[in-house]
Amino acid sequence: MSNVTLRNVRKTYPGGVEAIKGIDFAVDDGQFCVLVGPSGCGKSTLLRMVAGLETITKGEIDIGGRVVNDIEPADRDIAMVFQNYALYPHMSVYNNMAYGLRNRGMPKPEIDTRVREAARILEIGALLERKPRQLSGGQRQRVAMGRAIVRQPKVFLFDEPLSNLDAKLRIAMRVEIRKLQRRLNTTSIYVTHDQLEAMTLADILVVMNGGMVEQIGNPLEVYRKPASTFVASFIGAPPMNLITLDADEIRAQFSGDARANTEAGILGIRPEDLLISTEAAASGGLSLDLVVDAIERVGAETFVYGARARHGEPAISARPGELPPGEVIVRVPGQNAPAVGERIMVTAPRERLHLFSADGRRRIDL
């Protein structure tokens, strides 16, 4: 059994920075857990605490039924893949992989078997005698993986292992990591800030924000039912449209529902759930009049940016990276899209609407 359990884990750095503010979650044996969140939210800190590279200020970390708070990294039965790979520059690929095993006093023939097996799986058999500097980024990445595999640990820890690769290789390696993890069936914790990586790799997704867990769950579940506006805008690209429920014409659509009327303050609709249509949505659904102000074609799909027509307010960007108030993104499959300046109506059925409390911290299920 190699499950990982975190119980009310906290971390305060010596300088007084409170990086982790009480986190609980459990990863079952063989599961692939992805920690995702914006930069500085404490993902690396948390992972390094599991690895034993960072002390635990409070709480407990349990690996395979053993509290590891005071156990050295080498004795925790984990292996870690670093963002910059951290290969020993003066050792050959073979020695990079064998080093940890030698330190544990493993007999030579067994080391050799393990290294060659890992090299075969990762297809780096021809590179064993090379030094890291003679390898490409992708090959280094594989060696770093190899170093983790040969240890046959209870838990793999990955800290943004793909972020130094180019886009194409990143996708290829992403698939490969997933396959490898399935094949070895080793519990894994993987840190990334790329929501696509998070969605595709995870068995369980942990969305973090400001040192706390915002939501935990199956990735599709998180996508379907984001627990807060933070999760809603973080998971899914382009992000979910969030509209303040101040305008009466929108609020009126929920007239039948008391909770929606009283508690809800923000309405969310994913760009892919909006449909350009000529007739208003069925009762309870949402209809918006938009004036198209920009079009982005990426081939398989087209993103239509529209300003809410009846609002009439000018589109001013609120914060960098955020849509201006009143701006709505619509995802249209294919390449057919309305022209810029055109007036369109978009609709979404009731079951695709998300409601959040006015502060955005709570989801309201109808």
Q: Which of 24, 60, 88, 318 binds another protein (CB under 8 A)?
A: 88
In the complex, the smallest distance separating the C-beta of residue 90 from another protein, rounded to whole angstroms, is 4
Could you tell me how many residues make up the chain?
Answer: 366
Contact pattern from residue 167 through residue 206 relative to ligand ATP, giving x for each residue in contact according to CB under 6 A and a dash for the rest = --------------------------x-------------
Stretch that binds another protein, among 51-59, 173-181, 242-250, 262-270 (CB under 8 A): 51-59
| Site membership for ligand ATP, residue 53 (CB under 6 A) | no
Give the side-chain half-sphere CA count within 13 A for 127.
24
Give the single-character DSSP code of 303. Answer: E
Question: In DSSP terms, which residues pair with 287 in a beta bridge?
Answer: 347
| Site membership for ligand ATP, residue 84 (CB under 6 A) | no
CB 189: neighbour CB atoms within 10 A? Answer: 27
Give the side-chain half-sphere CA count within 13 A for 105.
0
Contact pattern from residue 116 through residue 145 relative to another protein, giving x for each residue in contact according to CB under 8 A and a dash for the rest = ---------------x-x------------
Stretch that binds another protein, among 47-55, 204-212, 238-246, 320-328 (CB under 8 A): 47-55
Number of residues in contact with ligand ATP under rule CB under 6 A? 13
What gap in Å lies between CA 248 and CA 241, rounded to an integer?
18
From the list Mg ion, ligand ATP, another protein, none, partner contacted by residue 363 (C-beta under 5 to 8 A by kind): none
| Site membership for another protein, residue 82 (CB under 8 A) | yes
List the 327-333 sheet strands across, edge first. 275-277, 343-348, 286-297, 301-308, 327-333
Contact pattern from residue 323 through residue 352 relative to another protein, giving x for each residue in contact according to CB under 8 A and a dash for the rest = ------------------------------
The helix (H) or strand (E) run that includes residue 6 is: strand 4-12
What gap in Å lies between CA 283 and CA 287, rounded to an integer?
10
| Site membership for another protein, residue 107 (CB under 8 A) | no
Q: Judge whether 177 and 214 are in contact, CB under 8 Å.
A: no
State which residue, 42 or 326, has the beta carbon closest to ligand ATP.
Answer: 42
| Site membership for another protein, residue 64 (CB under 8 A) | no
What gap in Å lies between CA 272 and CA 307, rounded to an integer?
17
Q: Which of 15, 16, 103, 351 binds another protein (CB under 8 A)?
A: 103
State which residue, 43 or 308, has the beta carbon closest to another protein.
Answer: 43
Name the residue among 203, 174, 200 with its Cα closest to residue 186. Answer: 203
| Site membership for another protein, residue 72 (CB under 8 A) | yes
| Site membership for another protein, residue 19 (CB under 8 A) | no
What gap in Å lies between CA 35 and CA 53, rounded to an integer?
17
| Site membership for another protein, residue 8 (CB under 8 A) | no
From the list Mg ion, ligand ATP, another protein, none, partner contacted by residue 51 (C-beta under 5 to 8 A by kind): another protein
DSSP secondary structure string, 246-279?
Answer: TSHHHHGGGTT-HHHHHTEEEEEE-GGG-EEESS
Stretch that binds another protein, among 97-105, 202-210, 243-251, 294-302 (CB under 8 A): 97-105
Q: Judge whether 239 and 305 are in contact, CB under 8 Å.
A: no
H helices of the chain, where?
Answer: 43-51, 93-103, 108-122, 137-149, 167-184, 195-201, 219-224, 229-234, 248-251, 258-262
What gap in Å lies between CA 257 and CA 284, rounded to an integer?
10
242, amino acid identity? L
Contact pattern from residue 28 through residue 47 relative to ligand ATP, giving x for each residue in contact according to CB under 6 A and a dash for the rest = ---------x-xxxxxxx--
Task: Return residues touching another protein (CB under 8 A).
Answer: 48, 51-53, 72-75, 78-80, 82, 84, 86-90, 99-100, 103-104, 131, 133, 147
Q: Provide the binding-site residues for ligand ATP, judged by CB under 6 A.
A: 13, 15, 17, 19, 37, 39-45, 193
